[in-house]
Structure 1
Amino acid sequence: MKNVISEASSFILNNTTKRPIIGLILGSGLGILADEIKNAISIPYEEIPHFPVSTVAGHKGQLVIGELEGKEVIAMQGRFHYYEGYSIKEVTFPVRVMKELGVQTLIVTNAAGGINANFKPGDLMVITDHINNMGNNPLIGKNDENLGPRFPDMSESYHPSLINHAETCANKLNLTIQKGVYVGNTGPSYETPAEVRMLRTLGGDAVGMSTVPEVIVANHAEIKVLGISCISNMAAGILDQPLTHTEVIETTENVREDFLRYVKKIIETLLQ
């Protein structure tokens, strides 16, 4: 694994002089943030050794490296999902590469279905914790101590200082945000109304098909994580309407301005 990570990171370093310490994973319909990166170079995933290729609509499928609000960043404009048929280790491979490149803080975003009845489509939710409902874990198998400990602590998976920072930024922008627990399911089918009721009973506020594996690996690698969900729709059974991926993309389009100014403010004032 270490050799494979080194090959991918070396290829990236040979294509840029930037040395980003902030990483971004941009979910469905949220890749627009990468378009804001200045002095950027873009590397399609298929050109990077050992990288999977994103196959889902709303995921452009490239790394973008450059400057955002005065900080050097590396952004995944589109992510990989377990339901695409990749192994859980392939899904999380880019996080390993980011660590090798020197990333210390990871901002992971997603589009999610609202479970909390107080939420509405278009809300932005800062993730305070997660529930791994995927039936898998990217750390299963032989552990490489060079990458992280055998039994990593997950009690602060989403770093408290980053959560506080995100709240402060929202207040400065007069932006109303939600906070809550994200549930990671495998997908690709949406949840049934009965499953949504179960997840609410378990303490979930939003549900999606990503993020959890990447956050587990980031914690294993001692990368601080901030998670932000765009509530793109209400989960099944809450509203009397069918769920579609088109709705997800449309909602993220509608919230794009708030999302952009929010994440840019977080990055601008980060590490100060």
Structure 2
Amino acid sequence: MTHPLDPPADPFDVASRAADDIARLTGVARHDLAVTLGSGWGKAADLIGETVATVPATEVTGFSRPALEGHVGTLRSVRTAAGAHVLVIGARTHYYEGHGVRRVVHSVRTAAATGAKTMVLTNGAGGIRESWAPGQPVLISDHINLTADTPLEGATFIDMTDLYAQRLRDIAREVDASLDEGVYCQFRGPQYETPAEVRMAKAIGGDIVGMSTALEAIAARQAGMEVLGFSLITNLAAGISPTPLSHAEVIEAGQAAEARISRLLADVIGRIA
């Protein structure tokens, strides 16, 4: 069965069609900012502002039903108190689902096509620093892409300097001065990293390990958006954690931290949008 994003389709044309769908289904012609809600971050949508419309992602061109528990499968248009329109993406396609990079980054390209100039990417991830505890939010300062893949096609050369914008990180720290930051390593998944892989990530400069975000951030930069990244440390990484890793642990840590991190994210978005 073919998919709208399969070659020879132009993924940017598909994103434009998806943006038209969102405008039609939500009644909002343009969005100013977009946020992808990863594991543990879902309640932030209720705090950002007034929900104008909620749309099942499968009704929008190119979107797939989320394969992972903790992802809600909707696109939501929210109006902030200041009148900005935020596109809340609760429908993330992960690289490990095997659908190809175009589908992984389609939500980001669609957000850009709706007019969004800022992309906020959140995730639940493993922490390498022993000083971090489960339930702690940290800013992403940079990333290491360990997927051996990219959303860029052909001779497309995009600068990655200051990919996770210092300006936006400074705004986040105005909301919470205690926020720490670190380098995010995206692995292919879906298996959790081995202790040896975690040691490798640490040796090459990584602080956080996960299975999302980096490919999306590259696509956001290509689209000309400013990027802010947050990781919720849901567990200490393999070889650092004294117990085996499990997805149930990720969900539990997200639920425990949900109220705090959702308020944090909503306040940060309120300052940016």
TM-score by length of 2: 0.91
Percent identity reads: 38
The structural deviation recorded for 1:142 is 3.3
Which of 143, 154, 169 is equivalent to 1:163?
Answer: 169
Give the equivalent residue in structure 1 for 2:53.
Answer: 41
Is the partner of 1:40 in helix, strand or coil? strand
Asked if residue 28 in structure 1 is aligned to residue 55 in structure 2, the reply is no
Q: Equivalents in 1 of 2:40, 2:70: separation in Å?
A: 5
1:198 alignment partner, one of 200, 204, 224: 200
C-alpha separation between the residues in 2 aligned to 1:26 and 1:163?
18
Alignment match of 2:67 (pick from 36, 45, 55): 55
1:225 matched to which residue of 2? 227
1:66 equivalent in alignment to 2:78: yes
Question: Is the 8 Å Cα contact of residues 36 and 90 (structure 2) preserved in structure 1?
Answer: yes
What are the within-5 Å matches in structure 2 for residues 32-181 of structure 1?
32-36=43-47, 37-70=49-82, 71-139=84-152, 141-142=153-154, 150-171=156-177, 176-181=178-183
- Cα distance per residue 1:206-244 (max 9 Å; x no partner): 110000010000001110000000000000011220111
Q: Partner amino acid for 1:106? A: M
Number of residue equivalences: 260
* 1:204-243 equivalences in 2 (<5 Å): 204-243=206-245
Unaligned runs of 5+ in 2: 1-9
Q: What RMSD, in angstroms, separates the aligned Cα atoms of the two structures?
A: 1.4
Q: Does 1:247 align with 2:253?
A: no
Give, as a single letter, the amino acid of the residue that structure 1 aligns with 2:68.
Answer: V
Contact 1:27/1:78, CA 8 A, preserved across alignment: no
User: Structure 1 length as normaliser, TM-score?
Assistant: 0.92
Tell me the SS of whatever aligns to 1:228: strand
Shift of 1:29: 2.8
Which range is displaced more, 63-72 or 210-219?
63-72
Partner of 1:5: 15
Are 1:31 and 1:78, in contact at CA under 8 Å, matched by a contact in 2?
A: no
Give the Å deviation of 1:51.
1.4
Paired amino acid for 1:168: E
Change in Cα spacing, 1:50 to 1:26, as seen in structure 2 (3 Å) is same
2:6 equivalent in structure 1: none
8 Å contact from structure 1 (residues 34, 77) kept in 2: no
Q: CA deviation at 1:68?
A: 3.5
Give ranges in structure 1 of 5+ residues lacking alignment.
Answer: 144-149
* Cα deviation, residue 69, structure 1: 4.4
Q: Distance in 2 between matches of 1:196 and 1:132?
A: 14
- Give, in angstroms, the shift of residue 6 of structure 1: 2.1
Larger mean CA deviation between 124-133 and 72-81 belongs to 72-81
